[in-house]
Amino acid sequence: MPDMNGPYKPGTPCWIDLMVPDQQAALDFYGDLFGWQGEVGPAEQGGYAVCTLKGKPVAGIMKAMNPDGTVPDPLPPTVWTTYLSTDSLDPALKTVTDAGGTVVAGPMDVMDLGRMAVIADPTGAVVGLWQPGTFDGAGIVNEHGALSWNELATGDRAAAAAFYAAVLPVTTGNSELPGAEEYVEFRVDGRAVAGMMDLATFPPGVPPHWQPYFQVDDVDEIQAAVVRAGGAVLAPAFDMVAGRLAVLADPQGGAFSVITPSG
């Protein structure tokens, strides 16, 4: 079991969460799809639900609401947020603004769990930063139902690469996988931890974004299950150099990818 036992290195994706209009419906959907366990959290924590797989935290799901507890009007889009680990949040936020990004929310303490903020890079993609306290992030990765990859889609890969390298200890470089030489990787200490795609390869109107990939045993089976549950297929299952992949959306519109690695 690919358990995570210790903090993520700064610059590494460490957590994901989903903001939805109907929190319970999302908990039911992902529980049925991936085998997650989760329930609406305490009111004093905004109802935030930490979903687990085999007893380990894998993702958060929260209801879309204003800070005062009221329902936003209009509702924000249903999106997964990727969080990048940092060992020093406040200096990182100073660099965010210096490098042309925007602080969208925070910084804020999350009890003793850690300290967080949400930012937008200069190309418009939104991502979270997480400074761990007692909570490092996902406790299990790279197996069925767990996070396995995170990917940025942006209209300016050079600007994005410069921004993230300024804020976090990451470097970028083209993939060494045969047939994927145009794919850009984010690396921490020389190890690929995330990827970057050209937004031009997406349908018109798709904004810059970060998207999670979940590892699954059978992509086609998961794709069919999403359709049965009222979700959508954004890119039908196909084979590529890293494995078999599909891009899907939950019934509330939250987009995510699933992949069965080729080894």
Give me the CATH topology for the region 13-132.
2,3-Dihydroxybiphenyl 1,2-Dioxygenase; domain 1 (3.10.180)
At 46 the pLDDT is 87
d(CA 175, CA 192): 9
At 44 the pLDDT is 82
At 5 the pLDDT is 66
- Comparing CA positions, the residue from 64, 97, 90 lying closest to residue 79 is 64
At 67 the pLDDT is 66
d(CA 26, CA 230): 12
pTM: 0.95
d(CA 173, CA 190): 10
At 121 the pLDDT is 98
d(CA 75, CA 61): 16
Could you state, in order of their start, the residue ranges of all structural domains in the chain? 13-132
At 11 the pLDDT is 97
Query: From first to last of its 263 residues, what are the pLDDT tens digits of the chain?
Result: 477 766 899 999 999 999 999 999 999 999 999 999 999 989 888 899 999 999 999 999 999 887 667 777 677 889 999 999 999 999 999 999 999 999 999 899 999 999 999 999 999 999 999 999 999 999 999 999 999 999 999 999 999 999 999 999 999 999 887 777 789 999 999 999 999 999 999 999 999 999 999 999 999 999 999 999 999 999 999 999 889 999 999 999 999 999 999 87
Cβ neighbors of 13 (< 8 A, separation 6 or more) are 82, 83, 84, 85, 147, 150, 193, 194
